[in-house]
Structures are given as structure tokens and as C-alpha cells.
Amino acid sequence: MTPAELRALVAEVQRRKCELDSVEVKQARGGTPKRLYEAMSAFANRPGGGVILFGVDESANFAVTGVENIQRLQEEVSHLATGDMEPLLRPWFSFEEIYSETVAAVEMDDVKWRPYALP
């Protein structure tokens, strides 16, 4: 995802004031969210996959709040996708500064073998 695409996706979520079919937002100011299995599994089962936006807070009217530790987020999401889920997922990471805060987009492709289930 290009920086312009990431910015446009955040703007669309903010304009609509809701998540989209293929987009889920997660507040990550206090660290990596704990409940990611469900979103990752849902996007793996969804034709075309989906995107998790980290650093956007739904409870604050979809405000950009940023990611506290981008390296840790990337490590923890990658570990979950390749170490805890079966079959392995391959997330794609993009980062962009928006309103002086880092927002991360994690793209999840769909898997060929459905249904994708949690371990």
C-alpha cells in the first residue's frame, strides 16, 4: 500500500465514521492490541483479504492516535501470523505519518484453503 493509499483509507474511515467491509481499525497507543486472531482469521477467509489499520481509535470518533511502538507491533503481528496461525499468513506492512502520528496498515491476503480457523 502506498502512502497516498494509506492516507486515503484513513480519510475514508474517518469520513464514514465506521469500519469498512475490508477494513478494521485498532487503537494501538498502549501497545499491540491483544485480540487480533479474529480479524486476521476473518480477513484470511474473506475473498480479497482485508486491512487492519493500527493507530486509529474507533471510540474517539476514528481519530488518529498513532502506534506507540511500531517495531514491536510489526514483530508481534508477524509472530502471530507465522507462529500461531495455521496455515501461515503473510501480512504486508505499510506505515505513514498522519497528523504527526504513525499509522500502520497491515494487509492480509485471503488463503486458498477455507475455512481458516483459529488454533
Q: In the chain, what are the domains?
A: 3-11+27-108 (3.30.950.30)
What are the E-state strand segments in 1-119?
Answer: 23-26, 50-54, 56-57, 63-64, 92-98, 101-108
Residue type, 33: P
Mean pLDDT of 67-77: 94
pLDDT score recorded for residue 65 = 96
The contacts of residue 117 (CB under 8 Å, 6+ apart) are: 41
The pLDDT confidence band at residue 90, using thresholds 50, 70 and 90, is confident
Q: Work out the percent of the chain whose per-residue pLDDT is above 70.
A: 92
Task: State pLDDT tens for residues 4-61.
Answer: 999 999 999 999 999 999 999 999 988 999 888 888 888 888 889 999 999 999 999 9
Using CA atoms, how far apart are residues 28 and 26, in angstroms rounded to an integer? 6
Q: Quick check: helix, strand or coil at residue 73?
A: helix
Residue 118 has pLDDT above 70, yes or no: no
pLDDT score recorded for residue 42 = 87
